[in-house]
Each structure stands twice: as structure tokens, then as C-alpha cells.
Amino acid sequence: MSKSKIEVSEHRWAQKVYQVQAWKFEGYDGDPTPADVIAHCKQKNANFKKDLKKFKSQTSLLKTKEQRETFDGLYNRATVFITHADDHLKKKEIDEADNSLDDVSALLDGLGRVFQAQNSGMNDKNGSHSQNGPRNEPNTASQKIKAAEYTARLKDSKAHRKIFVVKEQRENFDQLFKQAAWVTSETDKLISKNETQTADDLLFQAESSLQGLETIIALGRQTAEEYESVKTAIQLAKSRMSEAYGLRKAITNKGKQKEFSGQHKQAKDHIKQVENLLKRGDVKGTRPVLASLSSIVEKLDAAVNIVREKEWAPLDESYNRKLKANRAEMQSYYQQINTIPDKAAKRKFEKNYATAINLVAETSDIIERDGQAAEETVKSNLTALETIITVLEDCVVNALVAATNPGNADTNQQQSTTTDRNISDLNACRAELEAAQSTLNTTLGKRGVLSDPELAHEFQQYGTAAQAYITEGLNYISGGKLQEARGKLAACTSAITSMEFSIGASQTTDPRSRQQENGGATNQIANEQKEAELRQKANAYRNILKDTRKTQKQLEAHRSKIVDPERLNEFDLLIKQINELVPIIGRTLASRQPGRIEKSEQLLPALQEASQKAKAIIDAVLAAADAKAKEPKQKKIKYKNGARGIRNNVNAREKPSGPNPEFYCEKQDGQFCLKHAMNACLGFGAISVEDMEEGLLQVNIDGFKTQTEPQTFSELKGYYPNLTLPEMRKQIAKDPEKFYRNAAKAQYETLFGTTPAEVIRTQGSEPTMGLAIVNAKQKELGLPELKDTWLEKPKTSADVQANVDKVKEITEKNGADRLVIGAGGHFIALRKNAEDEWFEVDSLADGATRINLDEYIKKQAINNKEALAILHFSEEVTYKKDKGASGQR
């Protein structure tokens, strides 16, 4: 294809811009340069200008108003796009220029159809077959069919409006659609009036408008596809950038590292720019940015490709040996699980075994394929493999335990059968070990045939190892450890086989050949034996960690039962020590570093000691609780832990348990019974004397807050003669709450001649004060909302029951577990224990009294001459340790 016939519009410009220096053109021998493409676009632009000029000169051929309006709209839009193309070509923005020319091409097609419709209409009017032929009169029926078809096409076109992502294309569509809708509507009116000739003209115009709409829709669809391709390109760039960024640390040259960071930041900025352009619907504007982004991503890839393409080097052979040892251990467990009838255990084992086998195969391939470059991956895979092997081991052990001790123990016969089977297996293993001892003795008797010193030394090593395996196996049999004994039996058999191999090798005449064949075998077996022993120890230590964690959870479940603060603190320190040691030992065992077993052995005694001490504390607490639980229930539980101003100094913010629970209770101090009752519910120091004073002074404090500074200063001058305005402002800025509280207190003392605390001590408090104080400290104490419910003075038995029902709704429906009741000017706390029993905690009494809540409410309502106030929380008060009201005070 010649250069002059290249059709740029047939190619996706995003692809061309992506390869700025070599744009691909199908069917062209060679890659045209950007200059060639600019020349082609300029020629195309000039041709379009000529076409527009030609159409403009033929406007006199358009006979109807509708045709002229259609022409004007299309012509004006085409002129605008021609201007855009000129601007882009001047700036050498080739892709934008070509897109503008695409829009011009579509509009020129529309203009051509306007004139085509006019010519068709003239031909039909003059006779379609010959100039002298009969005139074809329009047919109303055919016009109705055409009109219906055009209406359907118009409706179908409207459904495609949502595909447009560019504002200009949407505006073109809207303009053409509006015009086509008007023409179609007018055509229907003319057909209904039987004005067939005029309707025929409009039908031609409608056809032209619809074709223009369909052209615009095709362009919109193409732009939408490009929009999606841009989004895909962004995602691909992000993925490649992420991969390259993950390898950045392998770039050793500092200058290269700095260059990489700068390019990565630039790429991120480009992505953000493209995303912003897409939000604005400027798909064309994304093309140059995408081209630049692609170039930067290529550079990022090239920077880390050096890391990917490192020269292959073999991985340390120790990884292969570890992999083989793990595979052997897995096969051993596989053989053991097949001896157990438990199908569920087998299914669980086989699921993990399949995962492990796949991981072994994958790791083996990685070692062979990638060598040293994949060392970290191999390490990670081996760590994961050891975790799975631990699961396999647990499956086997649990299945063996379940088989030996089924747990249901329905009959003594079942237990007897299991025990007999276990003893039988132990005896069979003992017999095999004794047979191995006999074979070993026979083999040792053949040592005289070994003339080669190296073979003799190797033979002696195997013999010593085999004897040690037999001795250890018999010890395991004595301890009832069947699986361990079988493991030693297998090791012993392997050693004896190696001894026999040494004897057979002694027949070889070439010592050098023997050395080459057997070189390093002894060391390899010794290493594998050592690794197996280390792995066995590591598994044992992991089991200790699991047991310790399990014990720890059981102990922490009883923490709330520790009442003594010193013992509680000691217990928390021990648990903290366990939480620190378990991860350290676990990481040490998983590190696969030399000395990991020895380091773990050094740490384990401290872990076991901490666990035992914590268990001893809980055992003592539970023993005391058991003894307490056996105590007979008392009607009145005397307070035993007195302190200054306190009748019973215990931490009972949470619901206590037991037949005779202990509650915190303060001694009566004047008329501070509201404070005492609230603290009996919330614990020591929850409500202080200062809180009560602030509750009494709240109106005064709020009054000061609403005043201007000069007003406040003027009012306080009488209470603070030496106070200056700057000093007052300084105190307000430092702590406004404290200043206003002290000011209100000074004002109160001046006016009434006594302190707010003394007034409360002599006159008491109102329930509303308790509401205000507690709800003001709600967030600080971590409490639900405190509410009040009033029990009216009953006149009939129905009124009494209504009061009881009100309290039931509070305690049963809302779950309130502590109440404050205002009875006869005195406030009393009502508390519930964990066993759902209620107790009266009165600051005037020397002990907590067990009560029936319904009967207690009835009695209080009848005996008091006025309505009773019940202060209660909107729900059960639950404390989180070391937070809110449960914290130590």
C-alpha cells in the first residue's frame, strides 16, 4: 500500500502513541515517521476543508426549512472541529488532531446524507424510471410503516446515550436527537393529516438525522472502548510498578536507587493525572500521558531486570537434605496413620499430606530451577512445610491417643481390648528389637573380614549407633512409648544394613574406588541422625508451648476470682512473662539457626516455672472459692475489711459470686448517703465530695460561663479583692473548669457562710444531683446512662404491684444489676451477685443483707410517706479491665 493511501483513522491512536518512535501501520512496507503522519493529517484536513466548501456552495439545492436547519447544525459543528484540528497540527499534537478529523469525517457523512435525501426526493417527484415516466405519488400506508420504523430507531438510539464518556460527543448526540425527534414528530402529524407530499420530504430528513445519530453513537462506542482500555492500561502499569517496587532494595548502586525512586514518583503522578482526565471525560488527553507513563514503567522494569536476570548459582545442599528429611518424616507419619481405623483422622491427615507433598515437589523444582536466587523462597517453603508436618504429627498422635483411649469408655470390655492391643504391639516391637540385637551381634562377628581401615572405622561407627538405637528403643518399650520405639527400630535396621554394605564393599579390590563410592556417607548419616534428633526435640518443645498456651487460657479464665491485689499483680506479671517467652521460644525453634535447640532449652525452665506459679495461684483461689461455696448462706453478711471511712474495703465493682458475696461499703458521713450509695454500686472514689459540691454549685458555674469576662470580674471582685483582670484571664485560659468551680464555691461560702460540703453533710442531696454527677462522668467512668424512675405512694394493692412491675422492668427487661433507692430521705444501694440474688448495701449497717427484691420494694413503698426514687442504669454495667469504673482508684 502506498504511503499516500495510509488511513490513520483505522488504527488505535493509543497504540501509536505508546510507540512514539515507531508507529505501526498495517499493509505498509516500513514504519512511517511522525513527520509522515503529520503530513498525512494535514492533507486529510485540507481535503475536508474542500469538502465543506463544496457542501456550502450547494446549499441552494436544499428546498425545505428542516433540511437547511439540519445542514447548518452539522456544518457549524464540522467547522469547529476543523479549527481544533488546525490548532493541534500547529502544536504537532498529532493524536488530538486526528481525533478532531475523525469527528469532522462523521459530520461530513451527515452532510452528504442531507444532500442525498434531497436528490432522492427530487428523483421521486420527477419519476424514478424515466423523465417522461409516470410520477410515483407517495403512499400513506408505506409512509406510516417508515415513520414507525424511524420512531423505533429513534427510541433505540436514545438507549445508547449512556455510552458517551466525552462531553462534546454527548452534546452532538443531544442536538441531533432533538432534531430527529422533532422531524419524526412532525412527520407523524403530517401523515395523520394526509399531507403526504410534505410528510415524504420530512421522512427523507428523518432518515438523514437518524444516520447522523448512528454515526455519533459509533464514535461514542469507540471512545468508550478506548476509555476502558485506558483504565486497563492504568491497572497494568500499577501492577508492574508494584512488582518493580518490591525489588527496589536489590539495586545496590545509590545513584540508580535515587533514579528509581524519582521515576516511581513520576509514574505515580502520571497515573493520578490520567485518572483525573478520565474523571473529566477527556479520553484524548490521556494518550500522551499514557505514552510517557509506559516509557517510565519500562525504565522501572529495566532497572530491576538486572535483579531478575542474575547468573544462576546452585543452592546450598543443606536445603536439599532438609527437604529429603522432611519428606522421610512425612512418609513415616503416613505409614503410621494407615494403621489407625479412624476415618475422620485419616481424611484430615490426607488433606494436609497432599498439601505437604505438593509443597515438597514445588520446592524441589525451585531449588533445581532457580538455585541461589530462590534461597528466601526455599526458606519460607521449608518453614511452611515444617508447620504442616507438625499438623501431620498432631493428627497421628491424636488418632493414636483416641484409639488407645476412646473417651466414651462405654464398658470395661472396650478398655480391656484397647489395653491388650497396646500391650501386644509393645511386645511385638520388643521382639523385633531383640531380633535386631541378634542380627547386630552376628554382623559384628564378621568384622574380621574388613582389611581396609576406612571401612573398618565406618563399620564400627554404624555398629555403635545401632547398639544405641536398640538400647533406646527398649527403654521406650519399658515406658510404653510405642511410636518412639518403632522409630528407633527403623534407625537400627538402617544402621545394620549399612554395616552389611560395608562388609560387601570390602570385596572391592580398588580402595580408591571404594572411597569414591562411599565418600562422605558416614558424615551424611551422622548429620541426618543429628537433624532427626534435633527435629524430635523441637517437636517436643513445640508441644510444651502448645500445652503452656492452653493452660494459660484456662488460668486467665479464672483471673477475675483473684481478690487479693498483691496476688492479682503477681499473677499478671507471670502471665506477662509467659506472653513474652512463648513467642521468643517459638521464633527460636522456627529460625532453623544453629543453636536454636540449646537456646530454647535455656528459656524453657523459666517458662515452665512461670506457668507453674500462675497455676498455683489459681489453684489456691479456686480452692478458697470451693471452700467458700460450701459455706451456708447467711441472711446478713458481716463486713470484715474495714478501713478509715470505709466499712468494707473490697473491690466489688464487678458482680461478686458465691453464697455470701462481699460488697464495697462506706461509713455514713453526715447526709452524704447519696455518695455512699453510688459508690457502693460503682466502687471506691467513683463519686467524691468534690463531685457532690460541684453538683450543688452547677447552676452558679453555668451562670459564670454565660457572662462576659468584665461581668465575671466585676462580680468576683467582692470575693477576691486582690484579683486583677489579667490574672483572671490567665487562670481561665489555664483551667477554666477549675476557675469557675472555685469562683462559684467562694461565692457560695460568702453568701451562705458555710461550704457546699457542709450544707450537703447537714441537709442531704436530691436524686437529680446524683443523675447530673454520674452522667457528667459517664465517659470517664465508662458507664451506660444513669436514669431515674419514681415509685408513686401506693393507695391500693394494685398500686403496690404496679411499683413492683416497674422495678421488674428495670432489672429483668433492661438488665440493671445495681440500684440506688431513696427511702425516707436516705439513699441505699441494692446489688445483685452472679447467682442473681439481691442484697441491701446500707452505709448505716454493719453488713450486707440478703433480700427478696419484690418484697423489699413492696415494704419500702408502703412504709414511706412519699414517692420513692430509683436510680438505675439503662443496661447491665459491665466493666473492661483497667478501663472506666473498673480501674484501680
3-class secondary structure for 236-264? HHHHHHHHHHHCHHHCCCHHHHHHHHHHH
Within the chain, what is the greatest distance between any pair of CA atoms? Answer: 133
In this structure, is the dihedral angle defined by the CA atoms of residues 507, 509, 513 and 515, taken in order, positive or negative?
Answer: positive
Secondary structure of 608-634 as H, E, C letters: HHHHHHHHHHHHHHHHHHHHHHCCCCC
- In-domain check, residue 392: yes
**Interacting residues of 136 by C-beta distance below 8 A, sequence separation 6+:** 124, 127, 128
Q: Number of C-alpha atoms within 13 angstroms, CB side, residue 562?
A: 21
* Residues 160-172 pLDDT 10s: 777 777 777 777 7
Identify each DSSP E strand in 610-654 by its residue range. Answer: 636-638, 646-648
* Residues 274-317 pLDDT 10s: 888 887 777 777 878 888 888 888 888 777 765 554 444 677 88
Amino acid at 169: Q
SS3 524: helix
Mean pLDDT of the chain: 76
- The C-alpha angle 511, 514, 517, rounded to 5 degrees, equals 155
Cα 746 to Cα 238: distance, rounded to the nearest angstrom: 68
- In-domain check, residue 95: yes
Please state the rounded mean pLDDT for residues 593-622: 83
* Residues 219-257 pLDDT 10s: 778 878 888 888 888 888 888 888 788 777 667 677 788
- DSSP class of 18: H
Strand-pairing partners, residue 851, are 838
- In-domain check, residue 143: no
Strand-pairing partners, residue 840, are 830, 849
Identify which has the larger pLDDT, 787 or 110.
787
In this structure, are 257 and 347 located in the same domain? Answer: no
Residue 408 vs residues 43, 311, 346, 415, 421: alpha-carbon distances, Å:
94, 62, 20, 10, 18
Residues 78, 188 contacting (CB under 8 angstroms): no
CATH number at residue 53: 1.20.120
Residues 588, 556 contacting (CB under 8 angstroms): no
* Residues 523-562 pLDDT 10s: 555 666 666 677 777 777 878 888 888 888 888 888 877 8
In this structure, are 423 and 399 located in the same domain? Answer: no
Identify which has the larger pLDDT, 61 or 260.
260
Cell of 709: 469576662
In this structure, are 386 and 295 located in the same domain? Answer: no
Cell of 497: 544394613
In this structure, are 364 and 421 located in the same domain? Answer: no
Cα 671 to Cα 398: distance, rounded to the nearest angstrom: 66
Best mean pLDDT range from 16-20, 692-696, 807-811:
807-811
Host domain of residue 448: 412-519
Residue 632, number of CB atoms within 10 A of its CB: 6
Residues 491, 529 contacting (CB under 8 angstroms): yes
In this structure, are 263 and 323 located in the same domain? Answer: no
- In-domain check, residue 223: no
Least confident of 66-80, 305-319, 795-809: 305-319
- In-domain check, residue 497: yes
Residue 618: pLDDT over 70: yes
Q: What is the pLDDT of residue 335?
A: 77
Secondary structure of 293-309 as H, E, C letters: HHHHHHHHHHHHHHHHC
Identify which has the larger pLDDT, 207 or 419.
207
Cell of 864: 414511706
Cα 404 to Cα 342: distance, rounded to the nearest angstrom: 12
Q: Using a pLDDT cut of 90, give the percent of the chain over it.
A: 2
Nearest to 97 by CA among 46, 166, 133, 151: 46
Q: Structurally, how many domains does the chain consist of?
A: 6
CA-based R_g, the chain, Å: 47
Q: What is the pLDDT of residue 11?
A: 42
Q: Number of C-alpha atoms within 13 angstroms, CB side, residue 279?
A: 6
* Residues 345-382 pLDDT 10s: 888 888 888 888 888 888 887 887 667 777 888 888 88
Cell of 670: 453526715
- In-domain check, residue 807: yes
Q: What is the pLDDT of residue 31?
A: 47
In this structure, are 710 and 841 located in the same domain? Answer: yes
- In-domain check, residue 591: yes
Nearest to 517 by CA among 502, 539, 537: 502
Q: What is the pLDDT of residue 593?
A: 66
Q: What is the pLDDT of residue 388?
A: 87
Q: What is the pLDDT of residue 161?
A: 78
* Residues 601-612 pLDDT 10s: 888 888 888 888
* Spatial strand order in the sheet of 818-823: 636-638, 847-851, 838-841, 826-832, 818-823, 868-873, 786-791
Please state the rounded mean pLDDT for residues 492-503: 76
Cα 642 to Cα 418: distance, rounded to the nearest angstrom: 60
Query: Among 519, 551, 582, which residue terminates a domain?
Result: 519
Please state the rounded mean pLDDT for residues 769-794: 83
- In-domain check, residue 764: yes
Residue 268, number of CB atoms within 10 A of its CB: 15
Query: Among 308, 341, 361, which residue terminates a domain?
Result: 308
* Helices 521-556, 317-337: crossing angle, 10 deg rounding: 60
* Residues 125-141 pLDDT 10s: 443 333 333 334 455 67
Residue 161 vs residues 217, 292, 511, 606: alpha-carbon distances, Å:
8, 32, 91, 75
In this structure, are 650 and 539 located in the same domain? Answer: no
Cα 97 to Cα 84: distance, rounded to the nearest angstrom: 7
Nearest to 822 by CA among 674, 679, 692: 674
Identify which has the larger pLDDT, 426 or 18.
426
Please state the rounded mean pLDDT for residues 841-847: 90
Residue 10: pLDDT over 50: no
The structure's pTM equals 0.35
Cα 499 to Cα 525: distance, rounded to the nearest angstrom: 12
In this structure, are 299 and 438 located in the same domain? Answer: no
Cα 343 to Cα 346: distance, rounded to the nearest angstrom: 5
In this structure, are 698 and 826 located in the same domain? Answer: yes
Cα 562 to Cα 568: distance, rounded to the nearest angstrom: 6
191 CB-contact burial (10 Å; exposed 0-12 / middle 13-18 / buried 19+): buried
In this structure, are 796 and 706 located in the same domain? Answer: yes
Q: What is the pLDDT of residue 131?
A: 34
In this structure, are 803 and 845 located in the same domain? Answer: yes
Strand-pairing partners, residue 820, are 829, 871
Instruction: Report residue 700's pLDDT band, with 50, 70 and 90 as the boundaries.
Output: confident
Residue 369 Ramachandran class (φ > 0 left, ψ -120 to 50 alpha, else beta):
alpha
Query: Among 131, 165, 190, which residue terminates a domain?
Result: 131
Residue 862 Ramachandran class (φ > 0 left, ψ -120 to 50 alpha, else beta):
alpha
Per-residue burial over 525-534, b if 16 or more Cβ lie within 10 Å, else e, is: beebbeeeee
Cell of 630: 460450701
Cα 375 to Cα 159: distance, rounded to the nearest angstrom: 58
- The C-alpha angle 124, 129, 130, rounded to 5 degrees, equals 100
Identify which has the larger pLDDT, 119 or 731.
731
Q: What is the pLDDT of residue 849?
A: 92
In this structure, are 266 and 383 located in the same domain? Answer: no
Cα 813 to Cα 886: distance, rounded to the nearest angstrom: 24
Q: Which helix (H) or strand (E) holds 839?
A: strand 838-841
